[in-house]
């Protein structure tokens, strides 16, 4: 389900009693097997999986003017339909720090390419006893690699 932060917080207040909330975030531009595997593993770390998804303007600031390839409404629709994902919340900022502080997840998780000391919100989550974890990648795939392969196949680049 795709919810604005205010509604998500109300839902979590009702649902989280006795349950573990897991939070992760990303652009999720072109959903691929790596994303699905990562989200399945993240869900296994708790009961409720909340995914913070960068808005289109946020993705542009981080990845450049040519991204995202898929508009945020479509990315959120696909992401929210994946079995492990309980809630998707779109954020405008460059980092999910505001979301993390509002949601106060029990587990904050990022992909294995993130060193623990670089994970936004780590100190905050650990300050109240939450866990911060990374999940190793099973698939050597990314949106950037998909785009590059399409360019090679169709444009000879």
Condensed to tens digits (0 to 9), the pLDDT of residues 81-140 reads 999 999 999 999 999 999 999 999 999 999 999 999 999 999 999 999 999 999 999 998
Q: Where would I find the H helices in 4-71?
A: 5-15, 33-43, 56-63
Q: What is the CATH number of the domain that holds 112?
A: 3.40.50.620
CB–CB of 143/27 below 8 Å?
yes
Range of the domain at 87: 5-155
Q: What is the pLDDT of residue 157?
A: 67
The Cα 93–Cα 52 span in angstroms is 11
Which residue's structure tokens are 């000391």? Answer: 117
Q: What is the pLDDT of residue 30?
A: 92
Residue 18, Ramachandran bin (φ over 0: left; ψ between -120 and 50: alpha; else beta): left
Which residue's structure tokens are 């999910």? Answer: 96
Condensed to tens digits (0 to 9), the pLDDT of residues 24-58 reads 999 999 999 999 999 999 999 999 999 999 999 99
pTM (predicted TM-score): 0.94
Name the domain count of the chain. Answer: 1
Q: What is the pLDDT of residue 123?
A: 98
In terms of Cα–Cα distance, which of 23, 21, 20, 26 is closest to 113? 26
The separation between the first and the last C-alpha atoms of the chain, rounded to the nearest angstrom, is 39
Structure tokens at 138: 């099973």
Q: What is the pLDDT of residue 156?
A: 78
Phi, psi of 89 (to 5 degrees): -130, 130
Using CA atoms of 126, 1, 4, 39 in order, give the dihedral in degrees to the nearest 10.
30
């Amino acid at each position: 389900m795709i919810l604005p932060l205010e509604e998500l917080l109300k839902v979590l207040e009702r649902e989280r009693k006795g349950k573990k909330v897991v939070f992760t975030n990303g652009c999720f531009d072109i959903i691929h097997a790596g994303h699905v595997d990562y989200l399945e593993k993240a869900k296994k770390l708790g009961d409720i999986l909340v995914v913070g998804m960068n808005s289109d303007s946020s993705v542009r600031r981080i990845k450049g003017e040519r991204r995202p390839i898929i508009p945020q409404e479509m990315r959120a629709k696909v992401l929210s339909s994946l079995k492990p994902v309980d809630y998707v919340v779109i954020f405008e900022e460059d980092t999910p720090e505001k979301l993390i502080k509002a949601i106060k997840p029990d587990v904050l998780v990022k992909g294995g390419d993130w060193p623990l000391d670089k994970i936004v919100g780590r100190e905050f989550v650990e300050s109240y006893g939450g866990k911060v974890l990374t999940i190793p990648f099973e698939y050597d795939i990314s949106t950037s690699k998909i785009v590059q392969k399409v360019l090679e196949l169709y444009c000879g680049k």
